[in-house]
Structure 1
Amino acid sequence: MIQPGGHSVHPFPGHPSDDTGRRGWEDGLKDGYAEGYLRGRSKSIVEKARPPLPFRQIRILYVSSGKGFPYSPIDEAVIETLKTLTASVVTTEVSQPIRELAAAHRPDLLLALDGMDLPVEQVDAVRALGIRTAIWLTDDPYYTDMTTKIAPHYDYVFTLERNCLDLYRSLGCRNVHYLPFAAYTGHYRPTLTRSAVRRQVSFIGSAYWNRVEFLRPLIGPLMEKGLMINGIWWDRLPEYTQYPDRIEIGKWMGPVETAEVYSGTKIVINLHRSALDSSVNNNALQIGAISPNPRTFEISASSTLQLVDVREDLASFYKPGVEIETFANGDELIDKINFYLSHEKERQEIALRALERTFREHTYSHRLNELLGTIF
């Protein structure tokens, strides 16, 4: 556009005149549109009306893990969800007189999370009152040396590892069921306005040795792609001192903060811990893990692309290449990061399909409805 006097002006305020500035302006406009599209579609999915789950006129005595963080957010998720599905929820901890509480409240079910610090004598005493008992095991198969000793004391055993079903049945447990964790949408959900977090690639989790060994040969290329790491023990990675502003050492991130980082990251890496690491596990039977970890559902609930190492049972929950992406080795991880960082539309569509699937099928409401439907 030419003004009187021969001066050229652009029809859009703020549009730069030089080629470099124009490209930057156009890239910013494109990025802003993509961000707005993602947030708008996410909002639509999160706020979509869904059929209500059954409400049961039953009373629950819930025994929390007693382990504090990071188990306490799971306790919160279970307690708050049970309140929406049942008539009454009484909560207690493993250190309290469980038998006396059960006798006073006469619940229809005692439900324990984890249960490794709950004396089995207390569980036996509750069963002697004619009250049904159930345990949801949180860490299978990593601590089966302990869980095999407590599981037979419950009427119902729920495990988040499919490989452990036959183990508990072999011990005489009559009612053993596969029930993975899920996303608690009170914690894990996408940021619905422009995110304050702007990351390319994130990994959040503890530096178990298999993770250190996998990531160490890739750390240079991953850092070039913008990787940021948060979690404990990352001083195990010899190269961590080279990236003081990119690797946060020794911090447990709470669920809300974690969800904000997930939602503000283009690609989140999920690398499972090893079930065969004797330095941290108590798994003398060397039972392998084939089921997805809780982080699988939490990342998917945050409207971001998840790259997860392959586990046999993963496809039961998300369709690879459609709702989630997988990798089998380091080269494949790098290749897929390169692809999705340069293909924003494809990245967003997978993230949005994962969000939709999660809110439709993989929340704590879905899991606890399944648990209650199995027992009652």
Structure 2
Amino acid sequence: MEEQQPVNVNSLAAAVSYNKGREYGAHAGYEEGYLRGRANAVAARIETKFPKRPLHILYVSSGKQYPYSPIDQAIHTTLQDMVHHVTLADPRQQVADIAAHLKPDLVLVLDGLELPVNQVDEIRKKGIRTAVWLTDDPYYTDITAKMAPHFDDIFTLEINCIDLYHKLGCSSVHYLPFAAYRSHYFPLTTPSTVRREVNFTGSAYWSRIYFMNPIMPQLMSHNTGINGLWWDRIENYHMYADKIEVNKWHDPEETNQVYNGTKIVINLHRSHLDDSVNNNSNLKIPPASPNPRSFEICAASAFQLTDARDDMARFYKAGEEIETYTTPQELIEKVEYYLTHEKERQEIALRGLKRTLKEHTYAHRLHQMLSILFP
């Protein structure tokens, strides 16, 4: 009889493990490819066209760096497709002289904190219409309350600030949140360079630190990434340092990669009560409206898990297009749930993408603005 060779148990276990891993990887790759295909099909079908108006707009940028500069780019570029002529100016220039020379139909200012109000007054004296799109309401109302009355038209991204500007004597005040810029945030056609289960992008305001501290061990037990300013404030930071990018801003391209490569993207709005970073000591107006990240996450075809805000339902249906939470414990419970309910999570993300492209791009917002100003 031939002598039987002993079975190498370690080799057999390795082979079984390899085959299981290969099978899982193939399934995961198929699922991701299928999701990307569907997301790109949604994006390809939705292309809203707006009329091009015979207007000349002098657009005055925020004059600030990131995160304002991508918004400047989104507005400036989108306007070029919506009006006949756009001139770009910096708030540190003599904007009143430029306006006097060009005689535009509108001087549109983003943020406005870097533009001296005497420049705005000079423009209005020349009979040229001025509008400002405020970027940080209600967190800088100590400043904007003094600045806003110098403009003809006020656009605020916070619905709870409308009454404030009316009481200050501003007759033309409008609610206009920010949106998603499709050239920055979109479904990728190829695998993302990032592979995460959970991600949060944003600064570590103290309100966020207090909210996250109790759940950090559970949250970071997953393949979780965090990036933004001041996250070394978190309790036991040394335990999570390899998963946290401290004091690093991601540009839109990097952020889009993160959103596309993450199963659950957390959105946690900042608080109006954080005196260390806010300038709203006089009024303490509570926010109700969604932040720009609300639209950008969905535009990247990512699943958004966001804290509930009073006016969020105007933009997305909770449980259908996004998911919401109100407490740290609910956040963790929904992270655990949606990490194990792949199909449900993907369908919500796709519906969020569809709603965003149909209603919440900068083209939609600027069409709304121009329809108000030039009906």
Q: CA deviation at 1:82?
A: 0.4
Q: Who is 1:155 aligned against?
A: 152
Cα offsets for 1:119-152 (capped at 9, x unmatched): 1111111111111110000000000000001111
Name the aligned partner's letter for residue 372 of structure 2.
T
Q: TM-score, normalised by structure 2?
A: 0.94
Cα offsets for 1:176-200 (capped at 9, x unmatched): 0000000011111121212221111
Q: CA deviation at 1:26?
A: 2.8
Q: Who is 1:109 aligned against?
A: 106
Partner Cα distance (1:89, 1:250) in 2: 35
The question of 1:24 aligning with 2:21 is answered yes
Question: Helix, strand or coil for the counterpart of 1:273?
Answer: coil
Name the aligned partner's letter for residue 238 of structure 1.
E
Given that residues 210 and 274 in structure 1 are in contact (C-alpha distance below 8 angstroms), is that contact kept between their aligned partners in structure 2? yes
Given that residues 191 and 264 in structure 1 are in contact (C-alpha distance below 8 angstroms), is that contact kept between their aligned partners in structure 2? no
Q: Who is 1:372 aligned against?
A: 370
The question of 1:222 aligning with 2:219 is answered yes
Q: CA deviation at 1:356?
A: 0.8
Q: Who is 2:314 aligned against?
A: 316
Q: TM-score, normalised by structure 1?
A: 0.94
The question of 1:122 aligning with 2:119 is answered yes
Partner Cα distance (1:328, 1:278) in 2: 22
The within-5 A match list for 1:169-184 is 169-184=166-181
Cα offsets for 1:240-262 (capped at 9, x unmatched): 11122101111111111111101
Unaligned ranges ≥5, structure 2: 1-12
Partner Cα distance (1:374, 1:153) in 2: 19
Given that residues 46 and 358 in structure 2 are in contact (C-alpha distance below 8 angstroms), is that contact kept between their aligned partners in structure 1? no
Match for residue 210 of structure 1 among 207, 210, 230: 207
Given that residues 185 and 296 in structure 2 are in contact (C-alpha distance below 8 angstroms), is that contact kept between their aligned partners in structure 1? yes
Given that residues 48 and 358 in structure 2 are in contact (C-alpha distance below 8 angstroms), is that contact kept between their aligned partners in structure 1? no
Unaligned ranges ≥5, structure 1: 1-15
The within-5 A match list for 1:272-311 is 272-283=269-280, 284-311=282-309
Question: Helix, strand or coil for the counterpart of 2:78?
Answer: helix
The within-5 A match list for 1:2-41 is 19-41=16-38
Given that residues 190 and 260 in structure 1 are in contact (C-alpha distance below 8 angstroms), is that contact kept between their aligned partners in structure 2? no
Name the aligned partner's letter for residue 320 of structure 2.
V
The question of 1:191 aligning with 2:188 is answered yes
Q: Who is 1:347 aligned against?
A: 345
Question: Helix, strand or coil for the counterpart of 1:202?
Answer: strand
Cα offsets for 1:79-100 (capped at 9, x unmatched): 0000010000001111111111
Deviates more, 1:235-244 or 1:100-109: 235-244
Partner Cα distance (1:341, 1:208) in 2: 27
Q: Taking structure 1 as reference, are residues 116 and 17 closer, same or farther at Cα in structure 2, changes over 3 Å only?
A: closer
Name the aligned partner's letter for residue 258 of structure 1.
T
The question of 1:167 aligning with 2:164 is answered yes
Task: Output the aligned Cα RMSD.
Answer: 1.3
